[in-house]
Amino acid sequence: DAGVIQSPRHEVTEMGQEVTLRCKPISGHNSLFWYRQTMMRGLELLIYFNNNVPIDDSGMPEDRFSAKMPNASFSTLKIQPSEPRDSAVYFCASRGLAGGSTGELFFGEGSRLTVL
Partner 1 sequence: LAKTTQPISMDSYEGQEVNITCSHNNIATNDYITWYQQFPSQGPRFIIQGYKTKVTNEVASLFIPADRKSSTLSLPRVSLSDTAVYYCLVGAPLYSSASKIIFGSGTRLSIRP
- Residues making contact with partner 1 (CB under 8 A): 4, 31, 33, 35, 42-43, 45, 48, 50, 55-56, 91, 93, 95, 97, 102-110
Instruction: For residues 23 and 77, give the distance between their C-alpha atoms in angstroms, rounded to a whole number.
Output: 8
Question: Between the CA of residue 70 and those of 22, 25, 93, what are the distances in Å?
Answer: 12, 12, 16
Residue 57: CB minimum distance to partner 1, A: 11
Q: Which is nearer to partner 1, 15 or 97 (CB)?
A: 97
Beta-carbon neighbour count of residue 44 at 10 Å?
A: 14
Residue 35: CB minimum distance to partner 1, A: 8
